[in-house]
Structure 1
């Protein structure tokens, strides 16, 4: 009798295990895959997701749909994947705000490092520090000189706690510069005011700033990445302008729930890497000002963890609050 019970228990345990393996083995056949763009339609996160989705659909033989779930600096969509993406059919497409939200927003419903698994770093892009075309600032050195002379240099960003805000705060602290932050409600209002000369400096992505540089209404002074931008090859880096090792890129990544099967994360990483090598995909991303990176999940995790640690320190040391 005991033998029979043992046999039944083993049989039931085996049955319980089989579906889990089957779920991984038949991925992605059980249903559509969702790329959750954590910002509303029209922005760069939405664009990245929509560039990737058709190519991934073709590669995987399964529909890949883009679902916009914006709000709270990207945390609403990210939380949905962190808590509901354990089956490996939902992935978050995030922006650089992901690197500051944990330290900036109190009572997040997820732990950025523990509840999410980086799948891939799509790419990076510099931010551009720019000034109106008729500005007295001809170079970034002019800005530094004015700030050191306590001339109350103001800079506009897309919002309090944005990466631009944190980057300029770090720059000001390291360089002992007197600078005043002017937050705006997004890139549109910021560009309107800097072009009109209402604020002397802006810091924003290449995607947001370059059209105004091309139209000669703004003069670019520096980019925030450690290397010059392919989009703006004649514009020096902040590091070249007297701040060695300064590096503050914007970036885009794909994340999974930490509960998603590792085999699925690995496969999705391989498929996105494959998609990034398609010339048309790479070209369209480059048109967004993005330098494609790709690579392994471990590469993405190392990059994202460094961003989290760097900006958490800036937020804490400068007592920065979200709007």
Structure 2
């Protein structure tokens, strides 16, 4: 997106990746930046709608220190197993656990969207699976391919290359309907496992206090960027769905998701350890 965004904004866009702590490191850097539109933040859902309910001593307050600009893209969770696994469906995982066999489910980390999907899965099935939290998706994918864990919930965008490369087998998706790029993979609802709806998203935010006109300029640039046919094609290949919104619509999504994950974290007694 960055090149097209440069065209729309008529200025250079420099990408500064700040990984770690489920987005907390990046948020801290952005909130210390100038509120003039020169610094904007492409964030995943975790840092904004999960961290505040998970960490008691969070170093930032997204509702006070950041302003929404636009939702950008969404990507659902996909449940995958090793290619050679005898597990052929989500029901198989549940059946094995109920038969007394330990079943491990990997995530990309505590508080990640895959972790939230696992908690929903456990709640829906009334089965206790072993949650193996990795530090990032890459090692989780590697160990799933190698059979060190039984299954992995992950963003579709990160898993498609491994599914298409015949290294992982998808057995379910967390959407209400089947995905156009994985038409043969059933939803968890179809599998009789209801209510496991977990969708990661990426959205643009700016430091609090950024002038409304600047926010609107950025919003329009994002919308036009996502309308570009080449950008749309590239995003589709990655399992990302363009989802431009107004700033107020994005704020509403943040509130709704924050309430949803806060409730789940409390009900499931999820801890950051």
Q: TM-score, normalised by structure 2?
A: 0.92
Partners of 1:85 and 1:91 within 8 A in 2: no
Superposed counterparts of 1:1-323, under 5 Å: 51=1, 53-98=2-47, 99-323=49-273
Helix, strand or coil at the partner of 1:130: strand
Name the CA distance, whole Å, in 2 between partners of 1:72 and 1:231: 31
Q: What RMSD over aligned residues (CA atoms) do the two structures have, in Å? A: 1.9
Name the CA distance, whole Å, in 2 between partners of 1:224 and 1:285: 19
1:85–1:315 CA distance, 2 compared to 1 (3 A)? farther
Partners of 2:77 and 2:117 within 8 A in 1: no
Deviation at 1:238, TM superposition (A): 1.5
1:109–1:198 CA distance, 2 compared to 1 (3 A)? closer
Name the CA distance, whole Å, in 1 between partners of 2:34 and 2:46: 20
Deviation at 1:189, TM superposition (A): 1.6
Helix, strand or coil at the partner of 1:178: coil
Partner of 1:16: none
Name the CA distance, whole Å, in 1 between partners of 2:162 and 2:6: 35
Partners of 1:226 and 1:246 within 8 A in 2: no
Q: Higher relative contact order by CA 8 Å / sep ≥ 6: 1 or 2? A: 2
Partners of 1:129 and 1:222 within 8 A in 2: yes
Deviation at 1:245, TM superposition (A): 4.2
Which of 294-303 and 56-65 deviates more? 56-65
Deviation at 1:120, TM superposition (A): 0.8
1:227–1:258 CA distance, 2 compared to 1 (3 A)? farther
What is the aligned residue count?
Answer: 272
Helix, strand or coil at the partner of 1:114: helix
